[in-house]
């Protein structure tokens, strides 16, 4: 396996990741939820992100793609995905947010044309609650893109491990 810095070099450079993450998130929200994402209007506080979904990348690009949003956004995402407006059980909201992150991760991976075939995705993990500490082993940088989704800020980030 080539070292991460070579992988990053082969993808031109790490500056390529934010626009690809942004494109991926926009495409997924547009197609799966029928919603456009707007630029962020505020800097979110960590406490506002009560839902955290993570999908691991393994192989030639190792890392984690994380999607974070408020509880209100998570409920709205579930509602948009299922096409209804009723209350949903917790399990269904976790599932919806996890699957959304999974599809964003897959869309991002498929845009990495040179390494996509040698990169695998994990199944998603979802954390609820904002009061947790996250200790990443990423050592090749983290990129984050923020959007406004229905008046709340949502975050998509990528941390790269070597």
* Size of site (CB under 8 A) for another protein: 25
Based on the shown chain and the rule CB under 8 A, indicate whether residue 58 belongs to the binding site for another protein: no
The answer for residues whose C-beta is within 8 angstroms of residue 34's C-beta and 6 or more apart is 80
Tally the residues of the chain: 162
Token duo for residue 42: 């505020």
Residues 67-86 that bind another protein (CB under 8 A): 78, 81-83
| Of the candidates 132, 131, 155, 126, the residue with the CA atom closest to the CA atom of residue 40 | 155
Question: Of 102, 152, 155, 157, which one interacts with another protein (CB under 8 A)?
Answer: 102
Using DSSP's 3-state secondary structure scheme, residue 3 falls into: coil
What is the smallest separation between the CB atom of 107 and another protein, expressed in angstroms? 7
Binding site for another protein (CB under 8 A): 27-28, 31-32, 78, 81-83, 91-92, 95-96, 98-99, 102-103, 105-107, 109-110, 116-117, 121, 123
């Amino acid at each position: 396996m080539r070292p991460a810095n070579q992988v990053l070099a082969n993808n031109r450079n790490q500056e390529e990741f934010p626009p690809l993450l942004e494109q991926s998130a926009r495409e997924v929200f547009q197609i799966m939820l029928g919603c456009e994402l707007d630029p962020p209007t505020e800097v979110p506080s960590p406490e506002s992100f009560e839902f955290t979904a993570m999908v691991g990348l393994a192989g030639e690009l190792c890392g984690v793609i994380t999607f974070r949003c408020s509880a209100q956004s998570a409920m709205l995402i579930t509602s948009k995905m299922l096409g209804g407006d009723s209350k949903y059980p917790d399990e269904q909201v976790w599932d919806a947010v996890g699957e959304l992150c999974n599809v964003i991760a897959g869309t991002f991976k498929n845009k990495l044309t040179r390494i996509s075939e040698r990169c695998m995705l994990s199944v998603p993990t979802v954390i609820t609650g904002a009061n947790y500490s996250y200790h990443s082993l990423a050592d090749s940088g983290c990129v984050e893109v923020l959007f406004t989704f229905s008046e709340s800020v949502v975050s998509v980030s990528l941390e790269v491990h070597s």
